[in-house]
Structure 1
Amino acid sequence: MRLQQLLFTLAGVLFCGLLSAQITLRGKIVDANTGDDLIGASVLAKGTTTGTVTDIDGSWELTVSGLPTVLQFSYIGFAPTEVEVVERGQDLTIRLGDDAITTETVEVVGQRVSDKQRQSALTVESLDAIAIQQTPASNFYDGLGSLKDVDLTSASLGFKIVNTRGFNSTNPVRSLQIIDGVDNQSPGLNFSLGNFLGASELDVNRVNLVVGASSAFYGPNAFNGVISIETKDPFLQQGFSAQLKVAERNLFEGGVRWADAIKNEDGEEWMAYKLNLSGFRADDWVADNFDRVFDTDFGPDNLGGYDAVNIYGDEASPTFDFEGVRNLPGLGRIFREGYKEEDLVDYDSENLKAGVAFHFRLNPKKALESTELLVASNYSTGTTVYQGDNRFSLRGIQFFQHRLELRNRDNFFVRAYVTHEDAGDSYDPYFTALRLQDRSKPDDAWASEYTDYWQRNIVPRFNNLEGYPNCFPRDCGILERDQLRSTFFEQPNIRELLEEYHAEAREFAQSPRGVNTQGDLRPGTAEFQEAFDEITSTIASEEEDGSRFFDRSALYHVHGEKKFNSIWQPNDASRLEATVGANGRLYTPNSQGSILLDTAGRNIDTWEIGAYGGGTLHLNDRYKISTSLRVDKNENFDVLLSPAASFVYTPSQTTTARVSFSSAIRNPTLADQYLNYDVGRATLIGNLNGVEGLNTVESVRAFANSGRQADLVFFDVAPIKPERVRTLEAGYRTTLFEKLYLDATYYYSFYDDFIGFNIGVDANTFGTQLLSAAAFRVSANAQEQVTTQGFSIGGNYYFANYFSFNGNYSWNKLNSDTDDPIVPAFNTPEHKFNLGVSGRNVPVGFLGSGVRDLGFSINYKWIDGFIFEGSPQFTGFVESYGMLDAQVNLAVPSINTTIKLGASNILDNKVFTVYGGPRIGRLAYLSATYELKGR
């Protein structure tokens, strides 16, 4: 007992000694002329290598060995300054003034990597205002694709998807995207629309990507990661800014931002506001992949046609297979011609975003520490192409988002917002092709006329051809004759004849004939346009025979959070902080049966609620221990828990090691629960209550061949339930030689009740006959656990004050090899990397007195080939590819303008980032950004 007491006493003495040995200082760095926060400014304890950089709001935090000490503050383009710190409470708001001559700057460990980011328990990738300016991509959202762990998918120019750590999808339901804390998902479809409903580039202050399971504080949708976009505060970033951009593909983009503050009679700013307006238009990338659909049996060498990726309506039908039919020699498998996507889709891509926000300080005397009331509204509309189970032409789609928030920085907030959407004139091109084809001539009538023509006109010609095997059974066996004919049809001259004969039969079958046909509705004709307009303006439902989908759904959300920054604080180096919060959400879908099961007045409104809490113990600014727990309840599912814990060790200002356990849950989307959508080959259905009595696809095929009822295999699908993920993660961040910053992460994830789909058939049989068969794709959970793992490493090497090399590598692997019918669509390259070099604020005064700073960046991205699993039409192999991006920018202070010239995919490699999507080529651009900062 005495030994235990002695050990505790010694540990206490040592612990207190460690606590008293170091002191943490905090402050802020601003521009002395404009008052703007300086992001990435340097703070260094003089005579040491201990330093840091300022965070997004200009704040900094630095641990020193004791007082007094001298701190050095510097920022490129500003005069450096030194301040002696003699006491803990000293005001350390530092105002840096302009420096006519760029001085030699102090090299700071981990330049532009803040302590908050370095000491985060999770993997966090960031793109700040400076990095946005420096990205060689054509816009900030595309620039996210060069970050570590990130997959960027381009379904079109106007629709980009960001995903992390696997299970990439063009409908990213496993990642959450928020703008100033507001979820920007589509209320009816339950996933984010990239930056289509987003923020203007002029108003973006920073983008943080939290990689991995993050439900604890972000909610159920933060499954594989969070894309958090922070916009500029009108109190802190005032003035007028404008941007014009022109590019290839007739792209024109423009935007303006105006922010200002109003002072009261005491000279205190009590209200600030900002206005944003931005838009673009361009000729979208064309999806013109005419290769055969992946893993199908027939390609361009089949004279009767084939199923091409971006041609719709040409899909194979079992009734079109005449291979081996003896009275139709040479016919084989035939396919309808279908319609190219480019004849069905509106490729005039455009997007308009408008926003207004008012910030009111309830106690102006406290300035930034005052409680604020925020009122904001955003509107977005446009036309683009979205890819899900089919390709969809989003035409005139609109979003309205309104927010009311009461907040006190780093203290609390209460936020309420609502999002409304209107699908406008959006429609499904795939289903449009089927409708057009059916109007032209139903499949059975088309096939009947094709075969009739072949039998009456083509077969007699074969019989008269010299060398045609036409013996009778008394002279040769039927099988022998079939083999001879097969060889006959392979002759080059006979194949040329077959090509002509198929063209004749196709022309005959396509011509108008019969009561229920409209003939050949070819693109470019008045008849085609009339039918197209009628189909795409009519709602797709059981009652109406169109392809337009109706969606006027809404999402209502309320969220409150409170932080306790110092529950226990024995000294400046140690403290215990905590956070608690709760949120509630209501979905009110309204698709009039065109997408969901909300027909006949059925109410499918759905609510979710959640609450969370967590604490972080800081010890001696070296150890940080965090735990949290979140509880979620969806109206249709049981209560679920999401625990998380982490340990972060910071042995020095330059090095951080971390281990963490995180978890997340994902409630089934409205589509997983209520979907009812016919995509042609199958009907997609939600599965809230379970599905019974389906047959396996293989067994239906077996029955069709054998006629034996015993061959039919039946199965049921259990009701859908939420999926869960648990992740173990370890990471290490350090700076070597005061210039090289490294960040490495390894993770291993366990997925339970993984949400995918089962495919089954509702077969209608009579005796040995298959009368009809309807295919269904049913939302379902995997029965076995799915596991993934990955590793990533990134580095930045800073040199010569203005330049840096950067690179990152990511490895992601789906471990599971299972017979479970639900195959996870991992859709992620196993290997990918980025390599780049950049320069920032390079002094080029010799070019003329009006020019000061030059910047440039070059980035090469390489993506390993991978299988992309989407719908049957859009499942296939994405080939490996590399893309080179580059830009150069020049600041001209005399006119407050930055000129930027660049190009993405500068080598013009035609690459697919998603199977079924367009080939992405070069996009060269020129932009001018004008900024007049407020005082």
Structure 2
Amino acid sequence: MMRTILLFVALVCGAFMYGQTQVSGVVVDQNNIPVPGANLLVEGTNEGAVTDFDGNFSLKTNVKPPFKLLVSSIGFSNTTVSVTSNNQKLKITLKEQQTQLDEIVISASRTPERLFESPVTVERFGLKEIKNTASADFYDGLENLKGVDINTNSLTFKAINTRGFATFANTRFMQLVDGMDNSTPALNFPIGNLVGMNEVDVQSVELLPGAASALYGANAFNGILFMRSKSPFDHTGISAYYKQGITSQDAAGDNTYRDLGIRVAHKFSDKFAAKVNFGWLKGTDWMAANYQGKPGTGANRDALGYDGYNVYGDEVSTNIRAASGGLGLVPDVVVSRTGYNERDLTDYNAESVKADWGLYFRPWANDFEIQYVGKVGTGTTIYQGTNRYNIDGFTQQQHKLELKNDNFFLRGYVVADSAGDSYDMVFTGININRSWKSDQQWFGEYIQTYVAQTLGGANDASAHAVARAVAETGRIQPGTPEFKAAFNKVISDPDFGTGSKFQDASKYYHADGNYNFSHLWDDIEVQVGGSYRRYSLNSFGTIYTDYDGNIDYTEFGAYTQLQKELELSDNIKLKLTGSIRYDKSEFFDGFLSPRISTGFTINNNHNIRGSFQTGFRNPTTQDLFIGLDAGRAILVGSAPENLDRYVRTYNVSASGQINYGQPATIEQSGGAAYNNSYTAASATAFAASENPADLQVANPGLVQPEKVTSYEIGYRGKLNKTTVDMSIYYNKYQDFISGELVLAPLYGQAGDNGLSIAAIANGDYKVYQTYNNSDADIDSYGGSIGISTKVLGNFDLSGNYTYTKQEFDQSKHPGFRTNFNTPEHKVKVGFGNTELFKNFGFNLAWRWSDTYYWQATFGDGTIPAYHTMDAQINYSLPKLKSTFKVGATNVLGEDYFTAIGTGYIGSMYYVSWTINNL
């Protein structure tokens, strides 16, 4: 009986194997060079294969000949070949695409479509661009796309933005990695690629500039960056790269730079595949050495009230006459304590360690897939917000479970972070100073010495010099054991009254889904979807006002989109798209975001598009719940329940006690910033004029969602070997969110024309940064044009120009800051050849930025115009499955900067070896 069963099984298996058709072969380009990673699909089925590094493939199918194979690869035109017999061997030649406009994008409409026909502007960065980028890595290479700004915070933290209105804390720009939001729960914005993607795992990058709330909800306001990774079903094997080089900067000199990554992926069967990635980068950060004094504090260190950009501890200052109780011998001047240079408070270590892994299950061996993805990354970098921060051992992890097929996805994920040993360098300097001598003692010694010197006949300058020298007696000097001990103690203390350490263990939970009904009917494509997010803030009271436990809140949204393509004639197609989304946060009223777009395609070579859309941005976690004394100002979020959570006790000046009967200390809550305050600009005017009429009551309203209405038209065209992509836009903002500096008197009520004015005059006030909406009319407009072509035979030449402009009357709103922070003009040019001769290519990328004004809480100032060039040459060895590259960024060697207070950007020189990167 058993023998019969085995015979039957053997016959069945033999019949099954006999019924299978096997096809093998190689895919090459027009120069007979293998094309790795090409996709082959049996027409009408989900069966297919992917070529290996040498372009070889082997495919088995139950379909009997004859049938057709659909062959595609990024950068090449699709082709179809016929299979006429079993065990047939094929050599398939793919032709290089004339343009990128034929490539497929997903971001614009949440459905695959040709870039040429997308209803809005989309920038794409694919495998070919990643391989040939002249930048040090793929993330930096995004800066060469038109309309894109990359502001360099530090070596490993770069902020991407489009169309203006951003600082390094760019909450108007979203970054998605395989559908997961890459913003940190604590900071509420993406931190570049510090804990992001591994270069050898990147499948494609798409960038959608401008508002996109109709499909992507809150915070899809200024643009979205989409990064997709490679599937282990399609890209198997081991891939790796290693880069070694130096960074070169005037301030820091030459320092070693290393970067490596490895990807391991395996397809166990048609039903199960897995992958794991690991990346490590280490270098020396761009040293910040801007010792110029901030406006109003003196240009250099000789100034009495000097407060240098990259000097910390000198933020502590006082009017010494007021501190002396109004003693006439003491001049009416502001004196600051002596600070420490930033280089004394950080080692400028730049490091990133990241890993991710994924399990992918296709239970029926078709397009339905269940996947679990985990990511964890830790890094050390410099971040500049209101102050400068050493982000040391910051960790972020993500875990995602997703169900998907070609028509739907449903995913849920959690993002959690930990601040590690991060600390505020400004408060580090302040509290090292205070650890050896209190402010009261230091200024007391200064005043006493100044008076004694003056009575002894010394002139003013000499009296001040001796007074500082006496007050500095015993100062802890950098490099000494005493300094190291004080430094370690301060950065380990989370109380900003005595320390500078950040603590955080915040997270958010997110779920979203989408269903595309296009497979059910042909007349019109309909999509529906939605999302839900719950924040759980936990900074232990160091960032937020979560002194007594986590702060939790939620938001959700739902949307639909209809898309219809009409063939008006043989040569003209019309594509209509309409979307609308409803979003609701538990703190605010719901909001509708519509988008309408249309596109005309003429002769398959010209496309004209137009769109109207709206966007909105919910106030961030910091806008709502921050409670942080940043030194220059106290940051207090404007959620109603947050106003009275931040409470501190302050000393009152002697004159306040004597003349106005005030107690020695007064307790003030953060709510005073919103209901008992003057504008900072008017207080400055009052200090100069001593005219109380100059004071203007602030009392800003509580923050509400920000809105934008955007209009855009564009054109894409293919003219022989030349492609053109251009667009213009106009944005109108409503309820623009920004910070406003206000002064809250410790006694009296703003506008009382009495006691509160005395409090301001006596220095009995606190400076707050509030979060609110402006009634200012703010508009922006601009445009960009990109042209790419072939010259001198097979050389690639591309260039783009971007114009960006805001309209805002600062004189009507002197205390309001838009943080536009982008040049009016930008020009970028690329020139290269992927096959100058066999296996050898090169690329050059030149960028020029116009002068612009940088505005942020850390500091304002003019950014001079600059230009920079990156270059690389590469050589492939197919036998070793390897590509070698020698490259340099900023080869012109002139250091430049993109924001006030950051380190100047120097040059990088490196060699790299990439193995088996399909």
After TM superposition, the score normalised by the length of structure 1 is: 0.80
The answer to whether the 8 A contact 1:238-1:258 is kept is yes
Report the counterpart of residue 713 of structure 2 in structure 1: 730
Distance (whole Å) between structure 1 residues aligned to residue 303 and residue 687 of structure 2: 26
Cα deviation for residue 462 of structure 1 reads: 4.2
Higher alpha-carbon deviation: 763-772 or 189-198: 763-772
Report the counterpart of residue 299 of structure 2 in structure 1: 299
Report the counterpart of residue 257 of structure 2 in structure 1: 251
Relative to structure 1, the CA distance from residue 537 to residue 207 in structure 2 (aligned partners, 3 Å threshold; closer, same or farther) is same
Report the counterpart of residue 268 of structure 2 in structure 1: 262
Report the counterpart of residue 714 of structure 1 in structure 2: 697
Cα deviation for residue 611 of structure 1 reads: 0.4
Distance (whole Å) between structure 2 residues aligned to residue 598 and residue 82 of structure 1: 61
Report the counterpart of residue 453 of structure 1 in structure 2: 449
The answer to whether the 8 A contact 2:595-2:611 is kept is yes
Cα deviation for residue 133 of structure 1 reads: 1.0
Match of 1:912, SS state, is coil
Determine which of 384, 405, 410 is the counterpart of 1:387. Answer: 384
Residue type of the alignment partner of 1:554: K
> Deviations for 1:2-50, whole angstroms, at most 9, x for unmatched residues?
xxxxxxxxxxxxxxxxxxxxxxxxxxx9964999644999xxxxxxxxx
Relative to structure 1, the CA distance from residue 921 to residue 32 in structure 2 (aligned partners, 3 Å threshold; closer, same or farther) is same
Determine which of 123, 126, 145 is the counterpart of 1:125. Answer: 123
Distance (whole Å) between structure 2 residues aligned to residue 305 and residue 889 of structure 1: 54
Q: Which runs of 5+ in 2 are unaligned?
A: 1-23, 29-33, 42-67, 105-112, 247-254, 644-673, 749-754
Determine which of 572, 579, 585 is the counterpart of 2:527. Answer: 579
Match of 1:885, SS state, is strand
Report the counterpart of residue 774 of structure 1 in structure 2: 766
Distance (whole Å) between structure 2 residues aligned to residue 270 and residue 916 of structure 1: 53
Residue type of the alignment partner of 1:864: D
The answer to whether the 8 A contact 1:79-1:96 is kept is no
Paired residues for 1:801-816 under 5 Å: 802-816=794-808
> Deviations for 1:331-371, whole angstroms, at most 9, x for unmatched residues?
9654322111111124111110111101111211x3xxx20
Structure 1 residue 741 corresponds to structure 2 residue 723: yes
Match of 2:842, SS state, is strand
Cα deviation for residue 303 of structure 1 reads: 4.9
The answer to whether the 8 A contact 2:38-2:72 is kept is no
Match of 1:721, SS state, is coil
The answer to whether the 8 A contact 1:322-1:333 is kept is no
Structure 1 residue 894 corresponds to structure 2 residue 879: yes
Cα deviation for residue 782 of structure 1 reads: 0.7
Report the counterpart of residue 835 of structure 1 in structure 2: 829
Relative to structure 1, the CA distance from residue 258 to residue 698 in structure 2 (aligned partners, 3 Å threshold; closer, same or farther) is closer
Paired residues for 1:301-380 under 5 Å: 302-304=302-304, 306-315=306-315, 317-320=317-320, 334-364=335-365, 366=366, 370-380=367-377
Give the alignment's Cα RMSD to 1 decimal: 3.3
Distance (whole Å) between structure 2 residues aligned to residue 74 and residue 629 of structure 1: 34
Distance (whole Å) between structure 1 residues aligned to residue 605 and residue 360 of structure 2: 38
Distance (whole Å) between structure 2 residues aligned to residue 320 and residue 896 of structure 1: 71
Cα deviation for residue 320 of structure 1 reads: 4.5
The answer to whether the 8 A contact 1:124-1:210 is kept is yes
Distance (whole Å) between structure 1 residues aligned to residue 529 and residue 565 of structure 2: 21
Match of 2:353, SS state, is strand
Cα deviation for residue 458 of structure 1 reads: 5.9
Report the counterpart of residue 516 of structure 1 in structure 2: none
Relative to structure 1, the CA distance from residue 372 to residue 188 in structure 2 (aligned partners, 3 Å threshold; closer, same or farther) is same
Report the counterpart of residue 764 of structure 1 in structure 2: 746
Cα deviation for residue 457 of structure 1 reads: 3.4
Residue type of the alignment partner of 2:487: F
After TM superposition, the score normalised by the length of structure 2 is: 0.81
Distance (whole Å) between structure 2 residues aligned to residue 96 and residue 558 of structure 1: 45
The answer to whether the 8 A contact 2:261-2:279 is kept is yes
Paired residues for 1:424-439 under 5 Å: 424-439=420-435
Match of 1:919, SS state, is coil
Report the counterpart of residue 654 of structure 2 in structure 1: none
Cα deviation for residue 560 of structure 1 reads: 1.0
Cα deviation for residue 714 of structure 1 reads: 3.0
Relative to structure 1, the CA distance from residue 335 to residue 39 in structure 2 (aligned partners, 3 Å threshold; closer, same or farther) is farther
Relative to structure 1, the CA distance from residue 526 to residue 30 in structure 2 (aligned partners, 3 Å threshold; closer, same or farther) is farther
Distance (whole Å) between structure 1 residues aligned to residue 863 and residue 40 of structure 2: 39
Cα deviation for residue 387 of structure 1 reads: 1.1
Paired residues for 1:102-181 under 5 Å: 108=98, 113-114=103-104, 116-181=114-179
> Deviations for 1:213-255, whole angstroms, at most 9, x for unmatched residues?
0112222111010000010111011111111101213111111
Distance (whole Å) between structure 2 residues aligned to residue 619 and residue 664 of structure 1: 28
Paired residues in the alignment total: 797
> Deviations for 1:364-407, whole angstroms, at most 9, x for unmatched residues?
1x3xxx20000110110011111111111111111111010000
Residue type of the alignment partner of 1:831: H
Distance (whole Å) between structure 2 residues aligned to residue 774 and residue 330 of structure 1: 23
Match of 2:912, SS state, is strand
Q: Which runs of 5+ in 1 are unaligned?
A: 1-28, 42-69, 264-268, 464-488, 490-497, 512-518, 570-574, 845-852
Cα deviation for residue 439 of structure 1 reads: 2.4
Higher alpha-carbon deviation: 212-221 or 760-769: 760-769
Residue type of the alignment partner of 2:340: Y
Identity across the alignment (%): 35
The answer to whether the 8 A contact 2:476-2:482 is kept is yes
Distance (whole Å) between structure 2 residues aligned to residue 763 and residue 113 of structure 1: 61
The answer to whether the 8 A contact 1:40-1:111 is kept is no
Relative to structure 1, the CA distance from residue 180 to residue 801 in structure 2 (aligned partners, 3 Å threshold; closer, same or farther) is farther
Report the counterpart of residue 559 of structure 1 in structure 2: 512
Cα deviation for residue 313 of structure 1 reads: 2.0
Determine which of 667, 675, 678 is the counterpart of 2:618. Answer: 667
Distance (whole Å) between structure 1 residues aligned to residue 422 and residue 70 of structure 2: 58
Report the counterpart of residue 470 of structure 2 in structure 1: 508
The answer to whether the 8 A contact 1:299-1:305 is kept is no
The answer to whether the 8 A contact 1:327-1:455 is kept is no
Structure 1 residue 238 corresponds to structure 2 residue 236: yes
Report the counterpart of residue 677 of structure 1 in structure 2: 628
Distance (whole Å) between structure 2 residues aligned to residue 734 and residue 930 of structure 1: 37
Relative to structure 1, the CA distance from residue 117 to residue 321 in structure 2 (aligned partners, 3 Å threshold; closer, same or farther) is farther
Determine which of 769, 776, 791 is the counterpart of 1:784. Answer: 776
Residue type of the alignment partner of 1:202: V
Match of 1:132, SS state, is helix
Residue type of the alignment partner of 2:740: N
Report the counterpart of residue 56 of structure 2 in structure 1: none
Higher alpha-carbon deviation: 331-340 or 370-379: 331-340
Paired residues for 1:461-476 under 5 Å: 462=458
The answer to whether the 8 A contact 1:212-1:224 is kept is yes
Distance (whole Å) between structure 2 residues aligned to residue 74 and residue 799 of structure 1: 26
Distance (whole Å) between structure 2 residues aligned to residue 702 and residue 785 of structure 1: 24
Relative to structure 1, the CA distance from residue 801 to residue 405 in structure 2 (aligned partners, 3 Å threshold; closer, same or farther) is farther
Distance (whole Å) between structure 2 residues aligned to residue 319 and residue 592 of structure 1: 34
Determine which of 723, 734, 737 is the counterpart of 1:755. Answer: 737
Relative to structure 1, the CA distance from residue 460 to residue 79 in structure 2 (aligned partners, 3 Å threshold; closer, same or farther) is closer
Determine which of 401, 404, 409 is the counterpart of 1:407. Answer: 404
Structure 1 residue 857 corresponds to structure 2 residue 840: no
Relative to structure 1, the CA distance from residue 521 to residue 270 in structure 2 (aligned partners, 3 Å threshold; closer, same or farther) is same
Residue type of the alignment partner of 2:804: N
Relative to structure 1, the CA distance from residue 247 to residue 706 in structure 2 (aligned partners, 3 Å threshold; closer, same or farther) is closer
> Deviations for 1:254-288, whole angstroms, at most 9, x for unmatched residues?
1110111012xxxxx11011110111110111111
The answer to whether the 8 A contact 2:885-2:911 is kept is yes
Match of 1:894, SS state, is helix
Match of 2:171, SS state, is coil
Relative to structure 1, the CA distance from residue 654 to residue 334 in structure 2 (aligned partners, 3 Å threshold; closer, same or farther) is same
Determine which of 602, 605, 608 is the counterpart of 2:552. Answer: 605
Distance (whole Å) between structure 2 residues aligned to residue 837 and residue 109 of structure 1: 15
Residue type of the alignment partner of 1:814: Q
Match of 1:145, SS state, is helix
Distance (whole Å) between structure 2 residues aligned to residue 322 and residue 40 of structure 1: 80
Cα deviation for residue 505 of structure 1 reads: 3.2
Relative to structure 1, the CA distance from residue 509 to residue 377 in structure 2 (aligned partners, 3 Å threshold; closer, same or farther) is same
> Deviations for 1:111-159, whole angstroms, at most 9, x for unmatched residues?
7655611111111111101101111110111101111010001110111
Relative to structure 1, the CA distance from residue 564 to residue 735 in structure 2 (aligned partners, 3 Å threshold; closer, same or farther) is same
